[in-house]
Amino acid sequence: MSDARNSILTRLRATRDAHPPTPPASDFAPIEAKQWAAEERLPRIRRLMEAVHTEFLDATKADWPQVLREFLAREGVGSLLYAPGTEAGKQLVEGGERGPIPTLIPYDRPLEDLKPQLFETIEAGLTTTRGAIAETGSLILWPTAEEPRTLSLIPHIHIALLRTDALYDTFLQAMREQGWAQAMPTNALLVSGPSKTADIEQTLAYGVHGPKRLVVLVIHQ
């Protein structure tokens, strides 16, 4: 179909040059102006995300695996899929002796070999985040080879670790400061709540295709 390509591009170029538009300057100031004091960001993120049914747990760097295990026990969640290659994954396994032990399932093989389990039995998935955004109450997810995309998508409960030293004002600020444009991963995501829909007569319902519950485990620094 390269014929189509060339004829489309030639046409666009010729007609554009016949009437060259002069776009106004792109002034990003209205977005840059959106700022919150450091201590306001987390409460704001929490408020916005709770408004769409996100749950929050508080923990420290040392005790989060414990807090997580207690949560899973309390909620009767029997299986947790995690990324064994990440720091967090290692810490999760090591923090094992002190709490009730759910079945920990390492995401250590390709999706194809895990699909039936992922869709049918695994209840929860644990991921890290690259921070969160105060303006909209959004987590930044950055799946990698160690921490696959479906970890935060298929299990009914998605648990996300959020460090309080990576809170940004806006999406724009986050992508600038983390230098996204230089190195986009296969998939990057903003996640602002559990899966939801209002397609049936504007009635909000949670858990339509993605996770039914989103739990943010805040690791206070």
Chain positions 82 to 111 lying near another protein, rule: CB under 8 A, are 107, 109-111
Q: Of 21-29, 55-63, 86-94, 96-104, which part binds another protein (CB under 8 A)? A: 21-29
* Binding residue for another protein, selected from 1, 37, 94, 97, defined by CB under 8 A: 1
Site string for another protein, 171-200 (x = CB under 8 A): xx--xx---xx--xxxxxxxxxxxxxxxxx
Q: How far is the CB of 42 from another protein (least distance, A)?
A: 17
Is position 45 an interface residue for another protein (rule: CB under 8 A)? Answer: no
Site string for another protein, 141-170 (x = CB under 8 A): ---xx--xxx--xx---------------x
Query: Between residue 115 and residue 144, which ones bind another protein under the rule CB under 8 A?
Result: 115-116, 119, 135-138, 144
Task: Please check whether residue 157 is in contact with residue 151, taking contact to mean a CB–CB distance below 8 angstroms.
Answer: no
Q: How far is the CB of 126 from another protein (least distance, A)?
A: 15
Backbone torsions φ then ψ of 105, nearest 5 degrees: -115, 115
Backbone torsions φ then ψ of 218, nearest 5 degrees: -80, 125
Task: Please check whether residue 42 is in contact with residue 218, taking contact to mean a CB–CB distance below 8 angstroms.
Answer: yes
Cα(129)–Cα(143) distance, integer angstroms: 9
User: In Å, how far are 30, 81, 116, 117, 124 from 121, measured between CA atoms?
Assistant: 46, 10, 8, 5, 9
